[in-house]
Structure 1
Amino acid sequence: MPQDTAAPDRTTAQRRVTRQAPVFAVVGAVSTVAYLGLYLLLQPPLGAQWANFTALAVTAVGNTAANRRFTFGVTGARGAARHQLQGAVAFLAGLALSSGALALLHRCDAHPSHLVQLTALIAANAAATLLRFVLLRLWVFRPPRESP
């Protein structure tokens, strides 16, 4: 009877996710607080869309670096630039979601309150965070495959 070799791989992957998810959540929470603070600071002079872009761009670089080190355990300079470029893809996905949420919100209400804007951005960023974790885990920081 053939052995099921997929079971150990699945168990290892589950252990990795179990370890990575809480660390990713902490990095994400810190990044989200920084993002929202920057957004609130920049929104009056720049407007909603430019404040969103700037705050997201600034925090995305720090978020990718922090996840690289703490969530996925990658240290040293080797591959850092590539990881940031790949992280930029996740940034663009988050930008599309948050910009779309702001555009939809402003279409429904020309002058939404800061609280309503922040609520829309938090919802959009929650979806972007899930997508970011999947992209970072399966593409940017994918563990090397073991050869049989």
Structure 2
Amino acid sequence: MVARSLGPPVATPRDAAAGRRHDHPRDAFRHHGGPFRHRRASCACIGESPQAAAPLAGEEKWEVGCFIAIGVLSTVGQALLYWLLRGWWTPAVANLVSLSVLTVLNTEANRRLTFRHSTTPPVRAHLGAGGLFVLGYLVTSGAVLWFKWLDPGASPVAETVVLATASVAVTCVRFVVLRLAVFAAPRDRDR
């Protein structure tokens, strides 16, 4: 059990401008309303992160839902493009081309929709996603090549299923890194 400490008075920049001072986190609740604000204020006093104490807020639900929708479309798109290219190229080359195309589209869709309130410039977003591209390429190509080594006669459809499964694993890591590092607010990145 965490011992609650009243700690220093909680005041937001808006309160400071209005000359208000909160002697207890509950006072911030009265002035700003809403349980999410109150939880944010009380978390600052006991040293917990607001995300740990509060359920998903509306914006966080939007980010997760949007990221999942874009991720599903991107995975399906990459799998289809890989399957088409696999008729002409080796698994590694088909994966490189399909992943390159879909990473650019995926990053731009996430920048415009999922993380729409971020102030991250497009160039920084795509450079950050480039590092994730390398990770994604190594994991997905490794999975497909390992599968081909296990079953040399596997069909391109079977390879595509392995590729899509590996892409889902990479997508989970991608969301965390994009949210915490690439599209984080400048003050959150400095921590």
TM-score range relative to shorter protein:
0.7 to 0.9
1:75–1:137: structure 2 CA closer, same or farther, 3 Å change rule?
Answer: closer
Distance, in Å, in 2 between the alignment partners of 1:104 and 1:26 is 29
Letter in 2 for 1:136: L
Matched, 1:9 2:50: yes
Comparing both chains, which one has the higher relative contact order based on Cα–Cα distances under 8 Å and sequence gaps of 6 or more?
1
Give the number of aligned pairs. Answer: 145
Letter in 1 for 2:86: Q
CA RMSD of aligned residues (A): 2.2
**Structure 2: gaps spanning 5 or more residues:** 8-42
Q: Deviations over 1:90-123 (max 9, x none)?
A: 1111111101101111111112112321221111
* Structure 1 residue 18: Cα displacement: 2.3
Aligned to 2:101: 58
Aligned to 1:114: 156
Q: Deviations over 1:67-90 (max 9, x none)?
A: 0110000578x7111110110111
Where 2:86 maps in the other structure, the secondary structure is helix
Where 1:44 maps in the other structure, the secondary structure is coil
TM-score by length of 1: 0.87
Distance, in Å, in 1 between the alignment partners of 2:124 and 2:166 is 26
Q: Percent identity?
A: 31
Distance, in Å, in 2 between the alignment partners of 1:33 and 1:18 is 23
* Structure 1 residue 2: Cα displacement: 2.5
Letter in 1 for 2:6: P
Matched, 1:22 2:65: yes
Aligned to 1:39: 82
Matched, 1:127 2:131: no
